[in-house]
Chains A and B, each alone.
Chain A
Amino acid sequence: MAGPLDGLRVVEISHESCAWAGKLLADLGADTIVVEPPGGSWQRQTGPWLDDEPGPERSLWWWYYNTNKQSVVLDLNDAAGRQRFVQLIGEADILLDGERPGRLAELGLDHDDLVADNPRLIHASITPYGRTGPSKDLPATDLTVLAGGGPAWSCGYDDHSLPPIRGGGNQAFHIASHWAVQAVLVALFHRDVTGEGQFIDVSMHAGANVTTELATYGYLSVGEEVQRQTGRHASWVRSMPTQVECADGRFLNTGVLPRTPKQFAAMVAWIDELGLRDEFPLTFLLDEGASRERFDFSQLDEDPMLAEILRAARDVSAFLCERLPAYDVFVGWQRRGMSAGAVYAPDEALADPHVVARGFPTEVSHPEFDRTATYPGAPYQFSATPWAIQRRAPLLGEHQSLVDR
């Protein structure tokens, strides 16, 4: 079965800032051609490496971000290369690029040049600050974008002598690519009615700015600035920790603590199942919570016992974490109707039994190396037009026949 974007032709000028956008489109079935310079994309020079040995076909970065794509090599600095690029664009629906502002215009390959031959072309350009803003010519990386765009201000530790933190995983590129793909799909609907393509300016900096939740809408609405806190929401009001270390050294995000008598009853039953009734000194408070008909939170001031009961819920969470591995607390807590999550490393997440049962880990064949590799799978499951990795990332110039005609 083909994906929902089957029949669309995407051309991507290989760049780390738009590679994820190309992968999202390609994994949904768009026929995606990645244009590499002679010698190959920068991404091929980037680790991690298969068996730790560098090489243009061994970059795991390249492998991941370029699934389902076809590779052609074109020298855009050369007139013949540009001519073949224009021919390629003539049959394309979508062009993705991450070139610095001005570069494509210098080559005569910007949107205005290309629409002459293909007025239906939808061209999305991802740049650090957009094509026209005051900072458009500044160099940037994932780190500097997340620092200037807001996410880093909210991430870090209670101890403010420690720096704000960049969240790992190239998220500035991901944010921009998510926006590029949304905009490209919107532009398809526009084209369907009007017949015209268009140019889409995507700013990584703006993308980071609107991916900051309370930091932005809290300031815009009440003028308060959030302050970073360890492992939980940044806030202008200091909140209780939600990250607790468990018996195996892993952490648990405690989520929402028990708040109803039914949840207290479930907690008591669990303590009894574990044979820990006598070891937890506040079991009597859990019993008291379980025996109540309801909790009236508006009476907290007049009902000191209720405050004690709620404190016991926090204590029991810490008590269980001291005795059990994070996974057991996570699943035990959730099976009893309360939210919580083990703080997995990404590879632990990929091996979780639920994720495996849903078929999320995806085997991709790499025949050149006589092996398969396990990739993260579908971010979304389409019932009629499934997401799929049909083909590993291309070898350099593997599909050159698409342009050598």
Chain B
Amino acid sequence: MGAMNQSPPAPEPGYGNVSRHPGPLSGIRICDLSGQLAGAGATRVLAAFGAQVIRIEDPVTKGLWDIVRQLPPYLNGDRSHDGGAGFNNHNVEKLGITIDLRQERGKDLLRQLVKVSDAVTENFAAGVMERLGFGYEQLRDLKADIVYVSNSGFGHSGPYRDFKSWGPIAQAVSGLTWASGLPDKEPAGWGYSYMDHTGGYLMAIGLLAALWHRKRTGEGQWVDMSCSEAAIALNGPALLDATVNGRTMRRPGQPDSNHSEAPAMAPHGIYPCADEDSWAAIACRDDDDWRALAAVVDEPWADPALSLTARKADEEALDKQVAGWTSRRPRDEVVALVRRAGVPCSPVLRPAERCDTDSDNQAWGLFPTVTHTRHGEVRVDGLPVHLSASDWHMGRGGPMLGEHNDRVLSEVLGLTADEISSLRDEKVI
């Protein structure tokens, strides 16, 4: 247990909030039964602002309730439950303990922890926590003002409450997948679990809002987030066009998400550049942008007098002309020319460019280096916000399985060394 070799900072009196850097949420303790990316993504935000987030993991399955623990890619080729790079990325600054909830002593341990926590977070399918004895109503009896936040694919009520989900399922059934693509082709979808990120953001918002209400009134509550419903809400104006105007979204020519109908813009797309698989996005917001682009292009088809209506009328032909112009130039030359004209334009950046050379990301400090107890220094996602008085901090990597058992049980629950070794002997932890 490498972390035990470091001397922890002095405990903050009253909170037992040891081994934490001070932050705006230092007084908050989260008993975190969530995982995967959607749950872990929410509590990682609170941890980065100083909340004490204690992950509860299962020793019997080596923490693999959360399969991300052992999913590739692996840190330093470590294919064990302590090697998953996604797990490390999404669990920075958290503590990790193991409790076997099949055993009565394990259940009792978790109950003790809930009693001294401000919130419980989970993202199991509906019914799992209740069967374990840790549903909201069960925990409310234990601690009346507990804040309890659930994040599941379909929510905890309704005919699909038992349905299984992960990011791509929530994205499919919400319309996000469908709304991403070229006309008359099958949906392109998102290419990753956008709703694991976004579900995590909204879960963090729900958690913080409920904690704020509790701070003011002393009242706890249950926040039930359905990831697929949260996703439906991300297509508002187009949905109102359907519900108000009766315009069915599934119609010829739709989806067409590289174009922009509302607001109407043209040209508006992602255009090929000279090198293989290199692309530039260009968006003419208005006639001024078009005139500026036409001046840069300086070819007969680029008539600066063309109105938006005219440009929209045969957008496919316009796109072909723009693509012809871009495809004869290297991407960065296209971007430099168009940007110099004041028109919104961006390269489609590759991962290596974003992570290693993008000057905005570097200036922001967007990918901080954390220290994983086994794997040492690893770069991770930082946060896209900077707070002038109480900014985020990421120093410690994701916890190894059971890494903080001794620390949490002694410093948070006040257990003696003998009590802890008895729990260990009985494989409760």
Contacts and interface: CB of A to CB of B under 8 A. Distances in A.
Interface string A341-366: 11111111110111101101100000
A354 B158 contact: yes
A46 B164 contact: no
Contacts of B280: 147
Contacts of B381: 209-210, 216-217, 220
Contacts of B191: 151, 154-156, 226, 228-229, 232-234
Secondary structure at the B interface, as helix, strand, loop or mixed, is: mixed
B404 interface: no
A378 interface: yes
Contact of B387 (A65, A174, A186): A186
A198 to B, nearest CB: 4
Given A219-B355, A251-B187, A380-B223, A341 B389 contact: no
Contacts of B385: 124, 179-180, 182-183, 200-203
A330 to B, nearest CB: 7
Contacts of A381: 155, 223-226
B186 to A, nearest CB: 6
A338 B166 CA distance: 12
B388 to A, nearest CB: 4
A149 B269 contact: no
A232 B189 contact: yes
Contact of B281 (A148, A205, A223, A344): A148
Contacts of B386: 130, 200-201
B79 interface: no
Given A5-B212, A345-B179, A217 B86 contact: yes
B272 to A, nearest CB: 7
Nearest to B338: A144
A146 to B, nearest CB: 8
Contact of A168 (B179, B367, B387): B179
B138 interface: no
Contact of B86 (A143, A145, A214): A214
Contact of B223 (A130, A132, A175, A382): A382
B342 interface: yes
Nearest to B382: A210
A288 B428 CA distance: 39
A116 interface: no
A371 to B, nearest CB: 8
Given A152-B270, A167-B176, A178-B202, A221 B85 contact: yes
Interface string A6-31: 11000000000000000010001000
Contact of A354 (B159, B170, B342, B354): B159
A220 B160 contact: no
A256 B191 CA distance: 17
Interface residues of B, number: 154
Contacts of A132: 363
B80 interface: no
Contacts of A134: 359-360, 363
B68 to A, nearest CB: 11
B278 to A, nearest CB: 10
Interface stretch (B2-10, B93-101, B241-249, B304-312): B241-249
Given A196-B389, A253-B172, A163 B270 contact: yes
B294 interface: no
Interface stretch (B53-61, B103-111, B230-238): B230-238
A211 interface: yes
A52 B262 CA distance: 12
Contact of B198 (A135, A163, A211): A211
B37 to A, nearest CB: 7
B287 to A, nearest CB: 14
Interface in A127-165: 129-130, 132-135, 138-157, 160-165
B332 interface: no
A32 interface: no
Interface string B377-393: 01111111111111000
A198 B387 contact: yes
A185 interface: yes
Contacts of B247: 48
Contact of A154 (B192, B222, B235, B389): B192
Contacts of A350: 175, 232, 239, 242-243
B89 to A, nearest CB: 4
A226 B169 CA distance: 20
Nearest to B364: A206
Interface in A221-261: 221-226, 228-234, 242-243, 245, 251-253, 255-256
B409 to A, nearest CB: 27
A140 B229 CA distance: 29
B173 A347 contact: no
Contacts of B380: 217, 220
A150 B349 contact: yes
A251 B239 contact: no
A385 B213 contact: yes
A339 B166 contact: yes
B156 to A, nearest CB: 8
B340 to A, nearest CB: 11
Question: Across chains A and B, which 3 residue pairs bring their CB atoms closest together, nearest first?
Answer: A346-B175, A206-B384, A147-B281
16 contacts: A48-B240, A65-B237, A133-B363, A141-B344, A147-B348, A167-B257, A175-B197, A186-B24, A186-B208, A189-B25, A189-B212, A193-B24, A197-B389, A206-B366, A221-B75, A347-B249
Given A146-B281, A385-B210, 15 more contacts: A50-B245, A134-B360, A148-B346, A161-B272, A165-B270, A210-B383, A213-B197, A214-B73, A255-B166, A255-B169, A343-B189, A345-B175, A379-B202, A380-B205, A380-B224
